[in-house]
Amino acid sequence: MDILERSQKGLNTDLYWKPEAVKVADGTEQSLKQEDFFALLTEQLANQDPTKPVNNDQLVAQMTSFTMADGISQLNTKFGDFASSMTSSQALQASSLIGQNVLVTGNIGHMSEPGQGVKGVIINEETSQDTKIAIQNSQGEVVRTMNIGTLAQGNVEFNWDGTDQDGNPLPAGDYAIKVQGEVFGEPRSLPTAINRHVDSVSLTGAGQGVILNLDGDVSIKLDDVIQIGS
């Protein structure tokens, strides 16, 4: 064993100077920054044909094009960050809706327990006569009919107590609310909006934003909510 080998014996080889590893390309080096552009511009000026020099207009056009492209790229990045921030803010606000009722367009109500009832709004654009509300179960059977008579123009609230024609509580489940009336002597179906209970809130991708999960396994967008509370 020579002197060098004896001097290295027992030393931690991890402390030896090691050559730098080759950096793995991550794609960032493929983008041009402003300093890269000016470096290319300087190289272009140094190697241009003396008989065909680049005039000032061409230089200004090149600088303007690069500045615009760089500005648009930065704007897209900032806009993406802003959109993400807005979505997170919406999700935070929507979380306060959990446990509350929201009014949504449609005619399907849900009872989580027998006799719970369904509330909603009849959307009436014209005054209607002989107006009736028919409640149908999931099999399409009419379990309750309510005569309203003349219904004024506007959004008119209704409240079904969850019982059948004889006053017996009906089982939990989905029920369709169908409203019929006569407008200027002609039969017409009137649209409705139903109060639904918010069970949870989801934050989805693909630009869908905030989703409200309602009772009865129904999901809607936050933008579809007409009114909060009942």
In a domain, 160, yes or no: yes
pLDDT, tens digit (0-9, with 9 covering 90-100), for 198-211: 998 887 655 567 88
Asked if residue 67 belongs to a domain, the reply is: no
Token pair recorded at residue 158: 């209704």
For residue range 25-47, list pLDDT tens digits in order.
555 555 556 666 667 667 666 66
Residue 172 is assigned to a structural domain of this protein: yes
Q: Is the residue at 175 inside a domain?
A: yes
165 within domain boundaries? yes
d(CA 191, CA 81): 40
Residue 184 lies in a domain: yes
Q: How far is Cα of residue 211 from the mean position of the Cα atoms in its chain?
A: 6
Cα dihedral 53→58→60→61 (10° resolution):
-160
Tell me: the pLDDT tens digits for 87-121? 666 666 777 888 889 999 999 999 999 999 999 99
CATH at 170: 2.60.40.4070
Q: How many domains does the chain have?
A: 1
Q: How much is the pTM? A: 0.60
Q: Residue 71: inside a domain, yes or no? A: no
Residues 6+ apart with CB under 8 A from 44: 54
* Average pLDDT of the chain to the nearest whole number: 78
Tell me the residue range of the domain where 173 lies: 100-195
Contact between 109 and 194 under an 8 Å Cβ cutoff? The reply is: yes
